[in-house]
Amino acid sequence: MEGEFGTRLRFEMQVEAPQTLPFLRGDLNESLGGRLAAAHFGVFDYTAAIGLPPHEQRLDHPACDHARHVMQTAFAGTGVELSDGSLAASPASDRTADVHALWRRHADLVRHSLRHGYYQGWDMHPSHLVSRFATVYAFHLARYDAYRERVLAWQERRDAGGGVMDEPATIRTLAAALRRADQALP
């Protein structure tokens, strides 16, 4: 549906009910006229709905990994952006030790998401911005030079070294990782 000025109204969805997962499929965005811009994982509603006890309602629970992998499979190649859930925690006090403990916990969750291919997430507390920035920056830069060398070796049709044999799909993934790293840099 075209808007008044010829632009299409796009929307984002929240995936937080387990009953949503069976409806996620590759043609969902197409059936919506390509208007679905993003899908966000709602960790707390999802984990509560499947009956997890409060201490297990966490982003790195295997049930959350499953839901996010279903989202990835359903939206792969569709252009729908994925966003991970959040950590519902703030520093226990203003003490340095408490702030650092929260940053460590949040950084662990952000790394978990990054390792699973979720490059965006949302945060519930301003203190999370520090740990998110540092973790995303470190994650993307840790392998930047090695990824760059592999892409260059592929382009120049030479051995990348280290016993690595890349193929086109991996090169596309390496190039995408380099683009994300370039975007993460200040």
Which pTM does this prediction carry?
A: 0.85
pLDDT reading at 7 higher than 80: no
Output b/e per residue, 23-38; b: 16+ Cβ within 10 A.
Answer: ebeeebbeeeeeebeb
Listing DSSP states for 85-145 in one string gives -------SSSSHHHHHHHHHHHHHHHHHHHHTT---B--SSTTHHHHHHHHHHHHHHHTHH
For the stretch 89-122, pLDDT in tens is 999 999 999 999 999 999 999 999 999 999 999 8
pLDDT at residue 5, as a whole number: 61
pLDDT band for 4, please (50, 70, 90 cuts).
low
- The first and second tokens of residue 92, run together, are 């226990």
**Euclidean distance between CA atoms 151 and 168, whole angstroms:** 10
Answer yes or no: are the C-beta atoms of 102 and 81 closer than 8 Å: no
For the stretch 111-168, pLDDT in tens is 999 999 999 998 999 999 999 999 999 999 999 999 999 999 888 888 777 777 788 8
Q: What element of type H or E holds 37?
A: strand 36-41
pLDDT at residue 22, as a whole number: 85
